[in-house]
C-alpha cells in the first residue's frame, strides 16, 4: 500500500533473517509497516543508528517472534531512549580506538566510524576486529553506566546476588551495575547492523561479542573492588558520627552525592582504590587473560645487594582499568567533578604508596649476598588506614567564587587550576564543610547518632573506640543508655539411647550501650562539640 501525500516513507534494514522494511510516518505516535524491496544506500553513522532504531521498532509491531517483554519498551519513541546512549557509546569506542592506535601505521581513521556495515568496513582484518570489539564494548559500557545513573526508567541495580555469600567474610549487597541490561540492549542495537549471512558477518558478530565479554571480564572485578572499598569505609568510620551509611554505596555519581565534603572525599578515594586493588590482585592471580606480572624492571639493580625479579603486582594495569571505569562516572565539568576526580586519583596513588617490597635470598648459604625483590600489594586494611589519615588531614579547596560565578568556562578553568596548583595529588580535598552529623536530617540522608551503639568497656579497645560514647552521645547532647538483652539457647546437649537428644536451656545476658535522648529533652543540647566526627 503506497503512502499518502501527508505521509513520509522511511526504508530501513531489518534484523537478520527478515526482509527490508519501509515505514509510513505521519507523526511520532503513529505509523504503519509496509513490505517493500527497497535497496539500502550507504549512510553516515547518525542515519545508520536512526534506521536501526526504526528497524527494531517495526519488528516489535509486525512480528510475533519479538514480544514487547523481550524489548522492555514499546514503540519508536521508547527506543529513542537508548539511541543517544548507543551513539555516545560507539563514539567512546572509536575515541579509545584512536588512542590505542595513535602511533601505529593504521591509526583508526574516520572510515572506522561506521560500526559493522559492509559499506563502512569492507574487510575483516585484525584492525577491523578491534573496531567491532571496542565499539560493542563502548555501547554496552555506556548503556550500563547510564542505567546505574538512573537515566532509564526501566532498569536499575543488579540485585540478583544481594544477600548471597561472595567469599570469606563478605556478602553481596549495594547497587551493582546492571551489566546484563547493558549487554542485552547492546546486542539488539549493534548486532542488528550485521544483516549478512557470510563468513565476514559471522566474524563481525564474534568480535562484537568479544568486546562485550572484555567489558564483563573487568566488570566483576570492578563491582567487587567497589564493594570492598565500601566495607573498608564502614570499618574505618564505625565509631564516627558519620559511619559511611548505605547512601555512600554509589561511587562518584552526582545523584549519589549532592555535596563534596570531607567524608565524600574518602568514599571516592577508597572506592577507586578498591577497584584498582581488586583488578591488580586478580591480574596477579591469573584471573584475567590479558595481563600478567610487572616485569619492566626485572634484572635491574634496585640497590646494594639486591636486584629486581620475581612477579611484581601489575599496579599500572589496575590503575589504567580503574580510571576507565571509575573516572567515567564523572560526566560533569564543574568544580565538584574536578574534586571527585582528584580524590579518585588520590585513592589510586594510595595503593601504590602502601605497596611493600618482598625479597628472597638465593643459594644454600645464609650469608644472602644477593637478593631478588619484587613489589607486592599490601593488605587492603593498610590502604584504608592510610586514607583515613589523609581524610583527617583533608584540605578545603578555596575557589575564586567571583570568577566561577561569571559563567565563563575559560575563567572557570583558570580558577580551578589556581586552586589545585598548591595541592599534592596524594592529598584528599573537599569543597563544603560537613553538615551536623549529630542531628537527623532526612533531606540530606543523615540518620543522626540517636540509637547508635558505642563501647565503654572491653579488651583491646583503641583510644578512638573507648571515646566513642563521649563522641557519639555526650557531645551530641544525648545520654548513654544501657540495654540488656537475655538470649536463651540450647546447651549441654546429650544423646540418650535410643534415639533422642536432650538439651538444657541456657541464658546469656548481652549488654549494649546506645545513645538516647535525655529524659524530658526535645533536642540536642551539646557539650563542647568537636567537629563533624
30 domain residue, yes or no: yes
339 domain residue, yes or no: yes
pLDDT for 454 equals 92
* 42-84 pLDDT per residue, tens: 334 344 344 433 443 343 333 333 333 333 443 444 445 676 7
> Do residues 481 and 354 share a domain?
no
194 domain residue, yes or no: yes
> Do residues 349 and 479 share a domain?
no
pLDDT at residue 117 tops 50:
no
pTM of this prediction exceeds 0.75: no
- Pick the closest to residue 10 from 76, 88, 81, 82 (CA basis): 76
DSSP letter for each residue of 207-223: HHHHHHHHHHHHHHHHH
521 domain residue, yes or no: no
Indicate which CATH number applies to the domain containing 493.
3.30.2460.20
- Written as nine digits, the cell of 39 is 535497496
> Rounded distance, CA 55 to CA 189, Å?
10
> Rounded distance, CA 320 to CA 451, Å?
43
Domain count, the chain: 3
Domain end among 409, 434, 459: 434
CB of 391 closer than 8 Å to CB of 262: yes
Residue at grid coordinates 589523609: 390
- Pick the closest to residue 322 from 254, 272, 264 (CA basis): 272
> Do residues 483 and 414 share a domain?
no
> Do residues 175 and 261 share a domain?
no
CB of 509 closer than 8 Å to CB of 486: yes
- End-to-end CA distance of the chain, in Å? 73
- Pick the closest to residue 12 from 72, 56, 55 (CA basis): 55
More confident residue, 30 or 480: 480
Domain end among 180, 206, 222: 222
> Rounded distance, CA 32 to CA 162, Å?
44
> Do residues 295 and 203 share a domain?
no
Domain of 484? 443-516
> Do residues 274 and 146 share a domain?
no
Residue 509's beta-bridge partner residues?
486
> Do residues 306 and 208 share a domain?
no
* 444-484 pLDDT per residue, tens: 778 899 999 998 877 788 888 889 999 999 999 999 999 99
2 domain residue, yes or no: no
pLDDT at residue 490 tops 60:
yes
* Edge-first strand listing for the sheet containing 21-27: 8-12, 21-27, 30-35
> Rounded distance, CA 509 to CA 453, Å?
17
- Give whichever of 137-141, 281-285, 429-433, 491-495 has the largest mean pLDDT: 429-433
> Do residues 137 and 186 share a domain?
yes
* 349-385 pLDDT per residue, tens: 999 999 999 888 876 665 677 788 899 999 999 999 9
Average pLDDT, the chain: 74
> Do residues 476 and 410 share a domain?
no
pLDDT band of 400, cuts 50, 70, 90: low
> Do residues 261 and 365 share a domain?
yes
CB of 429 closer than 8 Å to CB of 387: no
Strand segments, DSSP code E, in 38-95 are none
> Do residues 454 and 389 share a domain?
no
pLDDT band of 17, cuts 50, 70, 90: very low
pLDDT for 437 equals 92
Distances (CA, A) of 393 to 31, 110, 145, 216, 455: 63, 48, 32, 37, 26
> Do residues 89 and 206 share a domain?
yes
229 domain residue, yes or no: no
- Give whichever of 71-75, 204-208, 250-254 has the largest mean pLDDT: 204-208
> Rounded distance, CA 25 to CA 3, Å?
9
234 domain residue, yes or no: no
- Cβ neighbors of 90 (< 8 A, separation 6 or more) are 45, 49, 115, 135, 138, 139, 190
pLDDT at residue 201 tops 90:
no
Amino acid at each position: 500500500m503506497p503512502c499518502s501525500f501527508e505521509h513520509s516513507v522511511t526504508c530501513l534494514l531489518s534484523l537478520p533473517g527478515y526482509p527490508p522494511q519501509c515505514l509510513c510516518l505521519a507523526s511520532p505516535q503513529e505509523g504503519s509497516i509496509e513490505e517493500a524491496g527497497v535497496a539500502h544506500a550507504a549512510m553516515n553513522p547518525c542515519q545508520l543508528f536512526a534506521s536501526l532504531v526504526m528497524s527494531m521498532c517495526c519488528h516489535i509491531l509486525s512480528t510475533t517472534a519479538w514480544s514487547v517483554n523481550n524489548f522492555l519498551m514499546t514503540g519508536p519513541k521508547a527506543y529513542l531512549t537508548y539511541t543517544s546512549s548507543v551513539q555516545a557509546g560507539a563514539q567512546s569506542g572509536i575515541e579509545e580506538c584512536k588512542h590505542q592506535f595513535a602511533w601505529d601505521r593504521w591509526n583508526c581513521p574516520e572510515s572506522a566510524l561506521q560500526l559493522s556495515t559492509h559499506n563502512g568496513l569492507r574487510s575483516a582484518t585484525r584492525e577491523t576486529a578491534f573496531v567491532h570489539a571496542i565499539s560493542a564494548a563502548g555501547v554496552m559500557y555506556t548503556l550500563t553506566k547510564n542505567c546505574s545513573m538512573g537515566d532509564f526508567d526501566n532498569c536499575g541495580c543488579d540485585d540478583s546476588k544481594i544477600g548471597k555469600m561472595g567469599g570469606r567474610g563478605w556478602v553481596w549487597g549495594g547497587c551493582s551495575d546492571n551489566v546484563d541490561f547493558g549487554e542485552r540492549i547492546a546486542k539488539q542495537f549493534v548486532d542488528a547492523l550485521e544483516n549478512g549471512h557470510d563468513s565476514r558477518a559471522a566474524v563481525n558478530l564474534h568480535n562484537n561479542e568479544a568486546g562485550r565479554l572484555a567489558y564483563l571480564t573487568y566488570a566483576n572485578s570492578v563491582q567487587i573492588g567497589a564493594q570492598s572499598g565500601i566495607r573498608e569505609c564502614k570499618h574505618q568510620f564505625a565509631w564516627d558520627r558519620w559511619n559511611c551509611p548505605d547512601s555512600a554505596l554509589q561511587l562518584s555519581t552526582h545523584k549519589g552525592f549532592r555535596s563534596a565534603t570531607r567524608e565524600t572525599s574518602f568514599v571516592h578515594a577508597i572506592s577507586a582504590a578498591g577497584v584498582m586493588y581488586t583488578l591488580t590482585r586478580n591480574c596477579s592471580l591469573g584471573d584475567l587473560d590479558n595481563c600478567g606480572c610487572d616485569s619492566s624492571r626485572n634484572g635491574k639493580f634496585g640497590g646494594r645487594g639486591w636486584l629486581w625479579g620475581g612477579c611484581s603486582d601489575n599496579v599500572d594495569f589496575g590503575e589504567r582499568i580503574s580510571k576507565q571505569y571509575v573516572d567515567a562516572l564523572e560526566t560533569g565539568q564543574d568544580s565538584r567533578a574536578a574534586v571527585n576526580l582528584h580524590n579518585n586519583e588520590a585513592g589510586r596513588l594510595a595503593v601504590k604508596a602502601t605497596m611493600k617490597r618482598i625479597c628472597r635470598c638465593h643459594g644454600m648459604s645464609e650469608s644472602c649476598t644477593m637478593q631478588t625483590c619484587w613489589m607486592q600489594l599490601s593488605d587492603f586494611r593498610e590502604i584504608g588506614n592510610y586514607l583515613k589519615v589523609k581524610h583527617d588531614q583533608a584540605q578545603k579547596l578555596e575557589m575564586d567564587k567571583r570568577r566561577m560565578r561569571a559563567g565563563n568556562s575559560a575563567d572557570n578553568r583558570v580558577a580551578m587550576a589556581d586552586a589545585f596548583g598548591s595541592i599534592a595529588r596524594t592529598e584528599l580535598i573537599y569543597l563544603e564543610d560537613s553538615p551536623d552529623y549529630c542531628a537527623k536530617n532526612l533531606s540530606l540522608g543523615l540518620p543522626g547518632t540517636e540509637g547508635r551503639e558505642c563501647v565503654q568497656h572491653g579488651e583491646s579497645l583503641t583510644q578512638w573506640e573507648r571515646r566513642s560514647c563521649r563522641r557519639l552521645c555526650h557531645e551530641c547532647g544525648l545520654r548513654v543508655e544501657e540495654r540488656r538483652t537475655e538470649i536463651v539457647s540450647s546447651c549441654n546437649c546429650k544423646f540418650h539411647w535410643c534415639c533422642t537428644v536432650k538439651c538444657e536451656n541456657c541464658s546469656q545476658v548481652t549488654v549494649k550501650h546506645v545513645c538516647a535522648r535525655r529524659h524530658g529533652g526535645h533536642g540536642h543540647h551539646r557539650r563542647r562539640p568537636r567537629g563533624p566526627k
